[in-house]
């Protein structure tokens, strides 16, 4: 275990920073994954808020991966690292909405109380606003002509 940790530390600190284009492409891919998850979760919670009963077995709740950055990349490109942090906050909100579904979904058909749906909706709304802001900021960070 100790040797693996040393290898990870060396990978993180000894290799040169990634290119900004590579990091930006990764952010865009993670953002697209998060937007897809947001759409699915928004549909699920919208249906539940409307009073629809949904079968647990027929619902797959997406949980997008967080953006993980090496410290050398964070130091070299702090503006892009800030965007990754913002993305991770949005993804955290998506996970909260997904976790709420996992909590209420115990098999069979599920109907949820308005308060529970409201909490999930609030997490989704905050995540959606962050994703929209992030998309705008990423667009601004692109060099002219892209």
The verdict on residue 137 lying in a domain is yes
Predicted TM-score (pTM) of this structure: 0.81
d(CA 10, CA 72): 11
d(CA 28, CA 76): 19
Range of the domain at 51: 18-141
Q: How many other β-carbons are positioned within 10 Å of the β-carbon of residue 22? A: 11
The verdict on residue 75 lying in a domain is yes
Contacts of 133 (CB under 8 A, 6+ apart): 86
33 touches 65 (CB < 8 A): yes
- Give the DSSP H or E segment for 94: helix 78-104
The verdict on residue 44 lying in a domain is yes
Give, for all 146 residues of the chain, the pLDDT tens digit: 555 555 555 556 678 889 999 999 999 999 999 999 999 999 999 998 888 888 888 888 999 999 999 999 999 999 999 999 999 999 999 999 999 998 888 777 788 888 888 889 899 999 999 999 998 888 777 655 44
* Alpha-carbon Rg for the chain in angstroms: 18
The verdict on residue 109 lying in a domain is yes
């Amino acid at each position: 275990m100790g040797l693996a940790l040393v290898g990870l530390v060396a990978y993180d600190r000894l290799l040169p920073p990634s290119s900004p284009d590579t990091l930006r492409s990764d952010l865009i891919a993670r953002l697209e994954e998060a937007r897809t998850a947001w759409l699915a979760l928004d549909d699920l919670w919208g249906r539940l808020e409307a009073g629809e009963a949904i079968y647990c077995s027929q619902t797959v709740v997406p949980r997008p991966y967080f953006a993980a950055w090496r410290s050398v990349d964070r130091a070299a490109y702090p503006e892009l690292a800030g965007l990754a942090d913002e993305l991770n906050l949005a993804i955290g909100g998506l996970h909260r909405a997904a976790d709420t579904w996992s909590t209420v979904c115990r098999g069979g058909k599920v109907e949820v109380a308005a308060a529970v749906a409201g909490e999930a909706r609030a997490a989704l709304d905050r995540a959606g606003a962050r994703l929209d802001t992030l998309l705008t900021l990423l667009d601004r960070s692109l060099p002219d002509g892209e």
